[in-house]
Amino acid sequence: MSETELSTPTGETRTALVRRARTMHKVLAETYPDAHCELDFTTPLELVVATILSAQCTDRRVNLVTPALFARYRDAAAYAGADRMELEELIRSTGFYRNKATSVIGLGQSLVGRYSGEVPGRLEDLMTLPGVGRKTANVVLGNAFDVPGLTVDTHFGRLVRRFGWTTETDPDKVEAEIATLFVRKDWTMLSHHVIWHGRRRCHAKKPACGACPLARLCPSYGAGPTDPVEAAKLVTIEGPR
């Protein structure tokens, strides 16, 4: 069996799937030209901390918390020596604040102890840090170091399955499979475009199919309202950050 005949989630040839996936990304890029990481940050350390806080929390809530947090703790040493009760109070509204405080303090200690207080720019090193898994590492690499990475969050995972790009549910397997469909330099912006689409149109329970620029390319068209007027009511200008 040739490469072009290999089975795919939608029964397309491999070549057809790659072509459709890349066309869909081109449409998303045109639809969301301003797509970017929606966590506010100015340094790699700020982005690591913000991403840790974003677990089970909206970006909007994190962005409300981080100005005071970043002003109080300006470097890794400050986090390493943070008073736990004070830190917990500052991040309490992000949820799971005790576990997050443990991760953030541990992060500071690890950076000071092993990386001279600086956030490393390699995936392997980032993943050794407390509170940093593969998803967080890819967020930091792509947005703080300009190193291409795929961010497989909840939105990304459900959309690439809805698009018929993969049937995998394990984030690492999703990342590996989607990486084969696109050139490496596009990975970071692909993540932003897909996530923005998931937050603004392709909602989990009721996607705005009738107002979707991907309608003709999506095998899941019809999962939500196809009437343009009804679908348009579901579209949000800003995602639920």
State the angle between helix axes of 134-144 and 44-53 in degrees (0 to 180), rounded to the nearest 10.
Answer: 140
Would you give the end-to-end CA distance of the chain in angstroms?
A: 45
Q: Is 95 exposed, middle or buried (0-12, 13-18, 19+ CB in 10 A)?
A: middle
Q: Can you give the pLDDT at residue 241? A: 47
Mean pLDDT in the chain? 95
Confidence of residue 1 (pLDDT cuts 50, 70, 90): very low
26 is catalytic: no
**88 Cβ partners below 8 Å, 6+ apart?**
97, 98, 101
Does the pLDDT value for residue 5 go beyond 60?
no
Catalytic residue (choose from 146, 153, 205, 206): 153
Cβ proximity of 174 and 160 under 8 Å: yes
pTM over 0.85: yes
Residue 238's pLDDT band (cuts 50, 70, 90) = low
Instruction: Identify the structural domains of the chain with CATH numbers, from first to last.
Output: 3-31+151-232 (1.10.1670.10), 44-144 (1.10.340.30)
Q: Helical H runs in 127-223? A: 134-144, 154-162, 171-179, 187-200
* Contact predicate 39/203, CB 8 Å: no
Question: Is 125 among the catalytic positions?
Answer: no
Q: Which two tokens stand for residue 90?
A: 């500052």
Residue range 61-77, pLDDT digits in tens: 999 999 999 999 999 99
CA atoms within 13 A on the CB side of 154: 8
Q: Active site residue: 75, 100, 135, 233, which one?
A: 135
Q: How far apart are CA 9 and CA 211, in angstroms?
A: 25
Does pLDDT of 240 surpass 70? no
The gap from C-alpha 78 to its chain's centroid, in whole angstroms, comes to 27
